[in-house]
Amino acid sequence: MKLVNRLRAVGRLIPAIYEATDHENRKFREIVSFEYECYGRDPLVQRAYRLICSLGAFGVSLSQFWLLKALGGRFFNDAPRILTALSEDLIVQRDPHQRDGDQLITSRHRIIAEEVISIASPDPPTFP
């Protein structure tokens, strides 16, 4: 199977799995929207998730150092709170190129990240 066909299949599979395992029979967008809105209780955590998904939609990881910088120069003691709150929706790995043990953070899947960005940044209205 060609790569393009496999990618298309995965693009349909992730939403289908989400919908099939949801006990409330919600659509993929509703599930992702609910998860994103739950982070609204802590604006810093929600902003961090948005940043991570912005890069994750393009398959790019973000280091913990640069995440904290992008969040306004937060201190490293903020990292555990953010990463713990987002632990079910992120993949966190040690950066093999860094000696200081910095971590690389990315969204669970590119399709989920794209949906989060679509929800967080809807298209502006068009005027006639």
Q: Return per-residue pLDDT of the chain as tens, 128 residues.
A: 454 455 455 566 777 777 777 788 888 888 889 889 999 999 999 999 999 999 999 999 998 888 988 998 777 778 888 989 999 888 888 877 766 767 889 998 888 899 899 999 877 667 77
The CA distance from 73 to 63, in Å, is 13
- In this structure, is residue 105 part of a structural domain? yes
Residue (of 77, 85, 91) closest to 47 by Cα position: 85
pTM of the model: 0.78
111, part of any domain: yes
Q: What is the CATH number of the domain that holds 96?
A: 1.10.10
Q: Is residue 112 part of a domain?
A: yes
Residue 86 lies in a domain: yes
Helix H segments across 22-61? 28-38, 43-56
Total domain count for the chain?
1
